[in-house]
A and B are shown apart, each in its own frame.
Chain A
């Protein structure tokens, strides 16, 4: 029962925290899929999925900054794909510079990225193969066609990509064609992606871009890696402005409460059940300190077993999640370490209750049957 309680608590804490981290990772998927070192956005933008369009001339303004090696336009937006059957699917459309193809997918599975320069072409990610296929036995492949905003789109490549926060697949096309696929508005430029000159750090270049253009330049390094990192800013925006952390946090807290309730009750019951034996040991001359140590070790060992089984179950869940590509699952090393600490804390509280009960037990009681 005790092991089961701790297993359950471990599973809830680790699994929910990892799914939360995975979800937060998904919020930054555009940053991972468009691998530019610097993202320049409108000055009030705090996260990558928030689009405050820039003027086309802002690309030239960024290029004019002395520490910038190159700067290219980027379109990013959610569009609807119309399949041959007439059904619609939502996709994350990325428009990149046709000449340089900067911001294109990193790993192509089939086809050539250069074929994006051909008319009405797109590169889709592997998720799109599943999502945009009308017949599972006959999945979409290079050469197939569908429509975006009544304009033909022909698949010229399939790539690997991280899944988007909205759950839709990624489609890459050229910037100009992305503007054609998208209903027109006055400003269409989502961001400018850039790279620093050799010998200049992305941070220094971003700082100079911000200073000289008034736009907001973020580096794209990874969560927690830099102060002006777009990943970090994006994740924190979601943490602060959505109910996601509260939702997952509640489950984690429930895991903790369930764990502590079951562990304390069961371990206390165990101590009560064995009070006569423990009392006999006390009568025979075992010190309270040694008995307490015994209970602590016993509790910690049970905690270790419960944690191990819980982690194993979470790993099985993670394996299934990774195979299915959902739910999102990312388990940084801090999660199991903290969860282990929490489980051991639960065990120590449970042991403490037993220790208090045992220390109040008079060894003479053992003579009273």
Chain B
């Protein structure tokens, strides 16, 4: 299947999810349908509590939906066992978290190498590739330092390097600029667009920071557990594609 930018990589169909029990039961996903395509940056936006993080978690395979179907790279996540989901995440998905979630007691390069180590890459090789990735995000000279020595913007760049080091075809970002000021947020997003975009990679960003909407190729707006609007964006500058081997 082809979409606006490339092949369809994420296909959510009629996804349903509730939280809580009894009178406190909340319907967080209501028959949600969403597709993401390779080569595009898709932003999931909407007010707090609208269900965008829940949808992102379901697409990432960290949360199970109650009904509906989620296919990622033609793999039915809704039917996978816990172990298979874990392996799938390790192989196919790169994560960028709101609070960076870098491990403070190890070096920047070791943090970046974690996805490689999870995949069973040997330590030396992981370190080599981590340093190359850090070069790509402009932190090649800081590889030995511990994350808490870096500024918030630099830490998020390390998190970007960690999300991309194993060359995942899908990158999931949760509020990547929420912990950054505007200037740093813009620098990080600019960098992220440059290094993460690839014709065979889809990027899904959850955000309610409207200052970064311009970085999206497509925006899906959620409200009260539903996708209420989807629109494509025209960039003033054509997106730059940087392939991993060039990093």
Q: Which residues of A contact B (CB under 8 A)?
A: 276-277, 279-288, 290, 362-364, 366-369
B34 within 8 A of A: no
In chain A, what residue has the closest Cβ to B163?
A284
Contact A366 B86 (CB under 8 A): no
State A362–B60 Cα separation when bound (angstroms).
Answer: 13
A interface footprint on B78-120 (CB within 8 Å = 1, 0 otherwise): 0000010011111101010111011110000000001100110
Contact B57 A285 (CB under 8 A): no
Contact B62 A277 (CB under 8 A): no
Which of A277, A280, A284, A362 is close to B63, meaning CB atoms less than 8 Å apart?
Answer: A362
B155 within 8 A of A: no
B56 within 8 A of A: yes
In chain B, what residue has the closest Cβ to A283?
B62
Given A366-B62, A369-B178, A280-B83 contact (CB < 8 Å): no
> How far does the Cβ of B115 sit from chain A's closest Cβ, in whole Å?
6
16 examples of A-B residue contacts, CB within 8 angstroms: A276-B99, A279-B101, A280-B95, A284-B90, A284-B95, A284-B118, A285-B93, A287-B83, A287-B86, A288-B86, A290-B118, A363-B62, A364-B54, A364-B57, A367-B53, A369-B175
In B157-192, the 8 Å CB interface with A consists of 174-175, 178
Contacts beyond the supplied A288-B86, A366-B97, A367-B57: 8 A-B pairs with Cβ under 8 Å = A280-B101, A281-B118, A283-B62, A283-B95, A284-B115, A285-B88, A285-B89, A369-B98
Contacts of A285 in B (CB 8 A): 86-91, 93, 115, 118-119
Contact A286 B62 (CB under 8 A): no
Contacts of B114 in A (CB 8 A): 281, 284
State A288–B56 Cα separation when bound (angstroms).
Answer: 22
In chain A, what residue has the closest Cβ to B57?
A364
In chain A, what residue has the closest Cβ to B178?
A369
Contact B99 A362 (CB under 8 A): no
Contacts of B95 in A (CB 8 A): 280, 283-284
Contacts of A362 in B (CB 8 A): 62-63
Majority SS of interface residues in chain A?
helix
Q: Which residues of B contact A (CB under 8 A)?
A: 53-54, 56-57, 60, 62-63, 83, 86-91, 93, 95, 97-99, 101-104, 114-115, 118-119, 174-175, 178, 206
> How far does the Cβ of B108 sit from chain A's closest Cβ, in whole Å?
15
Which of B54, B83, B98, B103 is close to A277, meaning CB atoms less than 8 Å apart?
Answer: B103
State A163–B82 Cα separation when bound (angstroms).
Answer: 66
Contacts of A364 in B (CB 8 A): 54, 57, 60, 62-63
Contacts of B54 in A (CB 8 A): 364
Contacts of A368 in B (CB 8 A): 53
Most buried by B among A276, A288, A290, A363: A363
State A369–B178 Cα separation when bound (angstroms).
Answer: 10
State A109–B89 Cα separation when bound (angstroms).
Answer: 77
State A287–B88 Cα separation when bound (angstroms).
Answer: 11
Which of B57, B87, B101, B175 is close to A276, meaning CB atoms less than 8 Å apart?
Answer: B101
> How far does the Cβ of A338 sit from chain B's closest Cβ, in whole Å?
32
State A368–B54 Cα separation when bound (angstroms).
Answer: 9
Contacts of A280 in B (CB 8 A): 95, 97, 101
Contact B178 A367 (CB under 8 A): no
> How far does the Cβ of B56 sit from chain A's closest Cβ, in whole Å?
6
Contacts of B174 in A (CB 8 A): 367
Contacts of A369 in B (CB 8 A): 98-99, 175, 178
Contact A367 B118 (CB under 8 A): no
Which of A276, A290, A367 is close to B62, meaning CB atoms less than 8 Å apart?
Answer: A367
Contacts of A287 in B (CB 8 A): 83, 86
> How far does the Cβ of A280 sit from chain B's closest Cβ, in whole Å?
4
Contact B178 A277 (CB under 8 A): no
Contacts of B93 in A (CB 8 A): 284-285
Contacts of A290 in B (CB 8 A): 118
Most buried by A among B53, B101, B104, B114: B101
Which 6 pairs between the two chains have the least Cβ-Cβ distance? A285-B90, A280-B101, A364-B63, A364-B57, A363-B62, A285-B89
Most buried by A among B53, B86, B114: B86
In chain B, what residue has the closest Cβ to A280?
B101
Given A362-B62, A364-B63, A284-B83 contact (CB < 8 Å): no
> How far does the Cβ of B121 sit from chain A's closest Cβ, in whole Å?
13
State A232–B151 Cα separation when bound (angstroms).
Answer: 68
> How far does the Cβ of A298 sit from chain B's closest Cβ, in whole Å?
10
Contacts of B63 in A (CB 8 A): 362, 364
